[in-house]
Amino acid sequence: MTDLHKIASPVRDREALEWQARVDLAACYRLVELFGWSDLIATHISARVPGTTDEFLINPFGMTFDEIRASDLIRIDLDGNQIGNSPYSANKAGFTIHSAVHQVRHDAACVIHLHTTDGVAVSALAEGLLPLSQTAMFLTGDVAYHDYEGPALNLAERERLQRDLGGKHLMILRNHGTLAVGASVAEAFVRMHMLERACAAQVRALSMGRPLNKASDEARATTESMCMTGMFGRYGQLAWPALLRKLDRQMPGYDT
């Protein structure tokens, strides 16, 4: 019995880790809906299957984000092969974008891609994200840009997505939307939350038609440097349990 227990324990451990990743990812989908960032059944969030470098979890294409549960998520490999049974398949554009990141960024436990109104608006500006707010200044040194090539259905685009993202954790897909990478689902979510807030503030500031105040270069550099010190990981650890409690009150069922 002891030998069988030793053999079975790693399997149970892997299953437990995958289930936790599923719960966190389903929670992230629900939070995106709760914060008003969803786009019907479009856009996508992925999480790497713990212990693997070539498999990730993603949403079933055809479900709205408010109904996604941990057990609904699709497990898929980097070649697009679906692992396990599901009546749904993955969004083809979602596979292209997320497989591109997971293929080369092994630090990316989670990848979030959105089409919010403010994020798309900023993606359409030649200047991209401007350092108009403290929130934006935290991020400007960690934002990459990728030119629009049409809907992301061509797997050849993966190489260019990888090149443009490089080692950064945020990317603005021009004329398209936003993307965030994190070492955990929590980290990716708080990073995307900050990017969305920065885009919303920029849209409002530019719409007022008044002179803009420019922060000093020194203040900008000080603020920008803070995001390179692990700030998002620590903030995510603090914020995530509170966000889950919020979900339990307002949108329960994600963890089934």
Number of domains, the chain: 1
Listed residue (176, 39, 161, 198) closest to 120, CA to CA: 176
Q: Which domain holds residue 45?
A: 21-250
**Of residues 22 and 88, more confidently modeled:** 22
List all residues 6 or more positions away from 207 whose beta carbon is below 8 Å from its beta carbon.
Answer: none
7: in domain: no
What residue has token string 């030793």? 6
pLDDT in tens, 223-238: 888 877 678 888 889 9
Any domain includes 10 = no
How far apart are alpha carbons 49 and 19 in whole angstroms? 9
Residue 182's CATH number = 3.40.225.10
**What is the C-alpha radius of gyration for the chain, rounded to an integer number of angstroms?**
19
118 within some domain: yes
Pairing status of strand 110-114 against strand 55-58: unpaired
Would 5 be classed as within a structural domain?
no
Inside any domain, residue 6: no
pTM above 0.75, yes or no: yes
pLDDT at 1: 42
| Residue 26 domain flag | yes
Which whole-number Å values give the CA distances from 182 to 12, 102, 168, 194, 202, in the listed order?
A: 26, 11, 10, 13, 23
pLDDT for position 2: 46
- For 143-191, the pLDDT digits (tens) are 999 999 999 999 999 999 999 999 999 999 999 999 999 999 999 999 9
For 69-101, the pLDDT digits (tens) are 999 999 999 999 999 888 888 999 999 999 999
